[in-house]
Structure 1
Amino acid sequence: MGSIGFSSLFSSPKVYKSPSAKSNLGLMERLSVDIHRAEGRKLNVPLLAPFTIATSKVEGVENVGIRVELKNGCCGWGEAPILPFVTAEDQTTALRKAAEACHFLNNTQAPMPLGHLLREIAQLLPGHHFASVRAGVEMALIDAVATSIGTPLWRFFGGVSNTITTDITIPIVSPTEAAQLASKYYKQGFKTLKLKVGKDLNADIQVLKAIRVAHPHCLFILDANEGYTSSEAIQVLEKLHEMEVTPILFEQPVHRDDWEGLGHVTRIAKTKYDVSVAADESCRSLADVREIVKRQLADVINIKLAKLGVLGALEIIDFAKASGLDLMIGGMVETRLAMGFAAHLAAGLGGFKYIDLDTPLLLAEDPVYEGYEVSGPTYKFTNARGHGGFLHWDNIACR
């Protein structure tokens, strides 16, 4: 790898004070990256139980792992998550596009600035349509560079904190199953439950009642994944109000393209019930966030690397903060590679009011070795270089 000369930057107080997307992008412009090998492979992992949301049902993780090795021997890891009806790519498409990106990286002839390399990847994998693969490649490149300069990712992104505390998700299940999960998570120390709703309004209310009995003091996030009409979403809030339950957040209550409905629910939720509304599927680009701010359509933006890419997420984070919106960070159904990267980013930057990075806890296996430490809802990051975790690459190839 070429000379990078970055150690002084990471010992400077300026890196840790008021971190922002702009400061991180500036750092990336000064790094020189020398690629030895890049490769993408299937990353398949079973779930403990089927994961059902309003728009899809997932039996297991079928993602794409990305490995980037530098000429100095340092490796970086990324993951392109695949979630039907949410991400634009399926696994076959993601593997093909990852191969194209890796072919480009493998044919770079000389060290290149990281920022320049990331812009080339953005041109090769543009927009929302290839955002998940782009995010996986960006993760691997950034992780490789952070590893090369001996810096953990949470410090690379600003060093605000080395821990995060996540909620945990209850998918669409029966009231009995929901109560059992709520009781289990209560014993594990989770204080915030994120409930998948939006498929059947009456069934959702029954599930909420059952959870309330099993975990009476939990905080609620409702996530409809576009499943309600605006009138149904308001009806849910009315029913909860009658139960004396106030969710701390109502995520994506209506279809992604129903801007009027989103704004209507946001206004009613805030003024009548003091509930914040988050835009998730409705926020797939900086242009979307600008429209949300202009028309006051939501209170919170859910940042997901798989729908925005890493650089796209950093731009939106800065804009949302400057516009007075609160931030949430979430993910698709991912292993500790992608979730760990997002968690490092959130901890390092700080300023995220809602943390939803729980899906590795829902997997039947953990393919990631080492990495962050887990204690119930708390993730703690060590001073290990980069992500701190890795895959046994040959084992992944056999799946």
Structure 2
Amino acid sequence: MDASISSTTSSSSPLRFTQKPPNPRPLLNPTPRVTHAGAGRQRATRLRAISPSPTPSPPTPQPQQPMEAFGFDALKETFSVDVAAAEARPLNVPLAAPFTIASSRLEAVANVAVRVELSSGAVGWGEAPVLPSVTAEDQPAALAAVARACAALVAARSAPLGAVLQDVADALPGHAFASARAGVEMAVIDAVANSIRIPLWRLFGGASNTVTTDITIPIVTPNEAAQLAAKYRGQGFQTLKLKVGKNLNSDIEVLKAIRLVHPDCSFILDANEGYTANQAIEVLDRLNEMGVTPVLFEQPVHRDDWEGLREVSIAAMEKYRVAVAADESCRGLHDAQKIIHGNLAHVINIKLAKLGVLGALEVIDAARKAGVALMIGGMVETRIAMGFAGHLAAGLGCFSFIDLDTPLLLSEDPVYGGYEASGPVYKFKNARGHGGFLHLDNNNGWK
């Protein structure tokens, strides 16, 4: 197949590339990479984050984990990547129930799966999540972008892993292609880890091979929320993440209903940009009257309302010792630097789909150096993307909040292998890579 594709390619067709030209290795995109410098006014006293416990207190900054000889940074320079085949397919999975948040409603996952095969025969899998209210791409756009990168990977000559990943980043730059970029990066890195026969959690630092996630309750009626909370209590979930932000009074009623059936749980509130600053502070005031203190308040205001984010962060910490997380407000290193230097939030939520893998590692490094706490989350993904993110979080060992529950919200699991889930605990026992894969004859048409 020719290495170029048209942007009008049908999203229902497989996009596979297996041919290498005789010419020297081209760049995926010759445009120089531009790094944006962060800006922001430094406050005299930094707002400190709190840890996810019912009686929170400021955390001790996490120490840097020692990197082993086969660590990710070392492999970027020493491992030569030669892609023999790469392909992109639609990855469609229904949800168990509609997933409603302040900014959107979703009834099914419509993502893009990525498969990369090296000349050694090692295979890696990635996933480009699609959530139009957050990611810039819809499924056809993500499929076309991933396919372009797959074609160029196959056309390129072998090169160090770092150079290949940088070419992918240059070809799919910025937030507009972050999800597609993440899917391709995941597949390449997974293929490399499979080639050298080590699990991803070891590649990313080896701090641990387990994580414990929260579970999300979307915007539903109080009765439905109570039923979900009781179910999750029985499954061992101690931290419930509640989607709020559409109606303040309804949000309070949902919280009351959940507290009756799961009185000892920890709450994370996620407004998905739905409140004004005044409304966000009012929610905390009313919860305090109920004797409820959330461990985290995620993205209370619109992503571009920087002053509102700062106002809520100051009030939440000074009045109630509640940490505030920036999620949609952090779409790249420039945003992260603005949050850090301006003391706009206590926690930064890392999502591979909005940053890419390399971009996420840049933001993680900046936050750790500044002593800002970290959360890791997802859009709505299968265990391909969640497995990769879980390995990253376990290996680095620097996340105060883990929100990797979306595969538990799907009506079926198309992924084979991968991590083992026991209630909220994910165990990474696979011998290499992230361990997850799609069968070549499954309903998504891999063959």
TM-score, with normalisation over the residues of structure 2? 0.84
Q: 1:95 aligns with which of 115, 119, 143?
A: 143
Structure 1 residue 190 displacement after superposition: 0.1
The reply on whether 1:60 has 2:108 as its aligned counterpart is: yes
Counterpart for residue 28 of structure 1? 76
2:351 matches 1:307: no
Percent sequence identity is 67
Partner of 1:130: 177
C-alpha displacement of 1:26: 3.8
In the TM superposition, what is the alpha-carbon distance from 1:398 to its structure 2 partner? 3.2
Q: Does 1:344 align with 2:368?
A: no
Contact 2:92 2:444 (C-alpha < 8 Å) held by counterparts = no
* CA offsets 1:21-44 (integer angstroms, 9 cap, x no match): xx6334322111111100000000
CA RMSD after TM alignment: 1.3
The answer (yes or no) to whether the contact 2:295–2:323 under 8 Å persists in 1 is yes
* Secondary structure in 1 matching 2:124: strand
**For the residues of structure 2 that align with 1:394 and 1:125, how far apart are their CA atoms?**
29
Distance across 1 between alignment mates of 2:65 and 2:360: 20
Equivalent AA in structure 1 for residue 166 of structure 2: R
Matches within 5 A, 1:300-339: 300-339=347-386
Cα deviation, residue 106, structure 1? 1.4
Aligned twin of 2:259: 212
Equivalent residue number for residue 282 of structure 1:
329
Partners of 1:244 and 1:18 in 2: how far apart? Answer: 42
Q: Work out whether 1:188 is the aligned partner of 2:235.
A: yes
Q: Offset of 1:295 from its aligned partner?
A: 1.1
Cα–Cα, structure 1 residues 28 and 396, in superposed 2: closer, same or farther, change >3 Å? farther
The 8 Å contact of residues 19 and 349 in structure 1, kept in 2 or not, is answered as no
Q: Distance in 2 between matches of 1:45 and 1:217?
A: 33
Which residue is equivalent to 1:150? 197
Q: Is it true that 1:367 corresponds to 2:399 in the alignment? A: no
Is the contact between residue 42 and residue 396 of structure 1 (CA under 8 Å) also seen in structure 2? no
2:440 is matched with 393
1:255 aligns with 2:255: no
Instruction: Say if 2:418 and 2:430, in contact at 8 Å, map to a contact too.
Output: no
Q: CA deviation at 1:381?
A: 0.4
Tell me, yes or no, if the aligned pair for 1:219 and 1:247 is still in contact at 8 Å. yes
Instruction: Measure how far apart 1:214 and its partner are.
Output: 1.0
Residue type of the alignment partner of 1:192 = T
Give deviations 1:341-393, integer Å, cap 9, x for gaps: 00000000101000000000010010100110110000000142101111013
1:71 counterpart = 2:119: yes
* 1:140 and 2:187 are equivalent in the alignment: yes
Question: Match of 1:161?
Answer: 208
Note if contact 2:349-2:377 (Cα within 8 Å) is conserved in structure 1: yes
Give CA-to-partner distance per residue, 1:7-65, whole Å, 9 cap, x none. xxxxxxxxx94349xx6334322111111100000000011000000000000100000
Deviates most, 257-266 or 26-35: 26-35
After superposition, what is the alpha-carbon deviation per residue over 1:58-90, rounded to whole angstroms, capped at 9, x for unaligned? 001000000001111110000000012111000
1:5 match: none
Deviation at 1:187, TM superposition (A): 0.2
Q: Does 1:171 align with 2:218?
A: yes
Unaligned runs of 5+ in 1: 1-15
User: How far has the Cα of 1:294 moved from its partner?
Assistant: 1.3
TM alignment of 1:266-277, pairs within 5 A? 266-277=313-324
Any gaps of 5 or more consecutive residues in structure 2?
A: 1-63
Counterpart residue identity of residue 174, structure 2: G
Letter in structure 2 aligned against 1:83: L
1:112 positional shift: 1.0
The residue that corresponds to 2:12 in the other structure is: none
Shift of 1:301: 0.3
Deviation string for 1:179-228 (max 9, x for gaps)? 00000000000000000000110100000000000100000000000000
Q: Give a deviation string over 1:137-179, Cα, whole Å, max 9, x none.
A: 0000000000000010010111100000000000000000000
Which letter maps to 1:34?
A: D
Amino acid at match of 1:82: V
TM-score, normalisation: structure 1: 0.94
d(CA) in 1 for partners of 2:98 and 2:228? Answer: 13
- Determine the C-alpha separation between the residues in 2 that align with 1:364 and 1:209: 28
- Higher mean Cα deviation, 380-389 or 69-78? 380-389
> In the alignment, residue 200 of structure 1 is paired with which amino acid?
N
Question: 3-state SS of the aligned residue for 1:41?
Answer: strand
Please report how far the alpha carbon of residue 396 of structure 1 lies from its aligned counterpart in structure 2 after TM superposition: 4.6
Q: How many residues align?
A: 381
Q: Determine the structure 1 residue equivalent to 2:29.
A: none
Q: Residue 89 of structure 2 aligns to a residue in which SS?
A: strand
Q: Is the 8 A contact 1:41 1:396 kept in 2?
A: no
Matched, 1:199 2:243: no
C-alpha change, 1:296 and 1:17, in structure 2 (3 Å) is closer
Residues in 2 aligned to 1:397 and 1:212: alpha-carbon distance in whole angstroms: 40
SS of 1:393's equivalent in the other structure is coil
Counterpart Cα distance in 2 of 1:362 and 1:227:
22
Pairing 1:40–2:88 present:
yes
Answer whether contact 1:220 1:249 (CA < 8 A) is retained: yes
Any conservation in 2 of the 1:220–1:247 contact (CA below 8 Å)?
yes
Question: Counterparts of 2:344 and 2:88 in 1: how far apart (Å)?
Answer: 38
CA distance in 2 between partners of 1:371 and 1:359 (Å): 15
Counterpart-to-counterpart distance in 2, 1:316 and 1:240: 32
